[in-house]
Amino acid sequence: MQKNKYLTLLPDILIYKGFSRCAIFDLKQSNHWFLPNEWGEILMNPNGFLAENLSVKLPTSSKEDIQNNLIFLKRNGIIDFAQHSSLKDVPTEAHILNYFTETCSIGIEKSFNSQFIPILSALRIKKLELHFLRNSNILNCILVANQLNFESLEIFLDYKYTKRLNLKELSCKVPKLTHIRIINTPFTYTEIYKQLEIKKLKNYSNHELNVKLLKRQENVNLHYYYNKRVHIDSDGTIKNSPYTANSYGNILTNSIDEVVHSEAFQKIWQVKKTLVDVCCDCELRAICIDRRPLIKRKGGTWFSNEACSYNPYLGKFKGESGYQPLNECGIESNKQGFKILVDQFIAIKTNYSNVALELDTNHNLFY
């Protein structure tokens, strides 16, 4: 044991605490681990933690286990030992400094409505998403949309619409095209061609994990998917996303600038995952792109009627041994509120080994 030495977290290491365990990320090496919450609390101490006091903080762990974990954390570049404690700057909450539109998504039925172009040209768009809902001349639609002012382009479409589409040709003709998401494919895999990432998904998921989000400070506090997003349906209806029901007028009859700047529209821009049921207890919240529609309660908290494929209370993904849906392990989230049925939850937890008792390096969340 390192006497009179303080455990300090190395640069590029981020830790997020969940209900049952913590997730630790190495941004530089693109590695990650899961570890017990007790260890997470120690490592997240901004002043560092005196190594010789670990046995007091971890009374159920043997000295040998503590020493082995220290060796593991040190060898993997997670911690270092310092002679003195040092107060690190803790990032403050991010604030929106302007109404820059981070993402504009557009639904396309048969063709891109050219009437949208002069209206949307006034928006400063960082990322443009095109969602193809039917078979159409995809290349033509993309070339029309290319007249808009945006930095990067991402397209979403069904596998059955790609048979006559040369994806690599698209990359050459549209340099701003950076991502293609194809659903209902025979297999799930990712292909990289120059600047273009082509992700083919056998099964659609309402969320995905992306460690690159950790480099965006605002995502730590705000809901990444909904923050600064506007969606336009194929008929011009203005919404917060392709998957939400609420609408705020039509781009052909209403001022898009007034709608986007309205308090009602921006309400969901301000959502924090710490106020969303289940997400607030999830150690993966900072790297999760969660597309589920959200509903706000009168008290200011949010919930979704759609289930996530990860259960943070058990530390299990859908398909893993021991996974159970939230409603089957005593977790209730609905309009009335959120609660854990303690007896039912404890009964489920005792049926398999506790995932929070040891470091876990088995999952690969990086792609």
Overall average pLDDT of the 54-83 stretch: 88
Q: Which residues contact 273 (CB under 8 A, 6 or more apart)?
A: 222, 223, 279, 280, 282, 285, 286, 290
Record the tokens describing residue 229, joined without a space: 């997003």
Are residues 23 and 342 in contact, defined by beta-carbon separation less than 8 angstroms?
no
Q: What is the pLDDT of residues 297-346, one digit of tens each?
A: 998 999 999 989 899 999 998 888 889 999 999 999 999 999 999 988 88
150-158/177-183 β-pairing: parallel
Is the pLDDT confidence value at 122 over 50?
A: yes
Record the tokens describing residue 321, joined without a space: 């041994």
What's 175's DSSP letter? T
Radius of gyration of the chain (CA): 23
What's 281's DSSP letter? G
Q: Which residue has the tokens 């409603």?
A: 327
Task: Give the integer Cα–Cα distance in Å for 247 and 315.
Answer: 36
Q: Compare 182 and 46 and report the one with higher pLDDT.
A: 182
Alpha-carbon distance values, 234 to 104, 111, 159, 367 (Å): 13, 9, 20, 31
Is the pLDDT confidence value at 98 over 80?
A: no
Q: What pLDDT, on a 0 to 100 scale, did the predictor assign at position 267?
A: 92
Is the pLDDT confidence value at 2 over 80?
A: no
Residue 256: which of 271, 236, 228 has the closest Cα? 236
Task: Give the integer Cα–Cα distance in Å for 147 and 51.
Answer: 59
Is the pLDDT confidence value at 278 over 90?
A: yes
Q: What pLDDT, on a 0 to 100 scale, did the predictor assign at position 280?
A: 93
Half-sphere exposure of residue 300, counting CA atoms within 13 Å on the CB side? Answer: 4
Q: Of 92-101, 177-186, 227-236, 332-341, where does mean pLDDT reach its minimum?
A: 92-101
Task: Give the integer Cα–Cα distance in Å for 22 and 38.
Answer: 9
Q: What pLDDT, on a 0 to 100 scale, did the predictor assign at position 30?
A: 79
Q: What is the pLDDT of residues 156-191, one digit of tens each?
A: 999 988 877 787 778 888 889 999 999 999 999 888
pTM as predicted: 0.80
Which CB contacts under 8 angstroms, 24+ apart, belong to 334-343? 334/303, 334/305, 335/295, 335/297, 335/303, 337/297, 337/299, 337/301, 338/277, 338/278, 338/301, 338/303, 340/313
Structural domains of the chain sorted by starting position, each given as residue range(s) with its CATH number in brackets: 6-82 (3.90.930), 101-204+228-268 (3.20.20.70), 273-357 (no CATH)
Average pLDDT, the chain: 84
| Beta bridge partners of residue 239, listed in sequence order | 231, 247
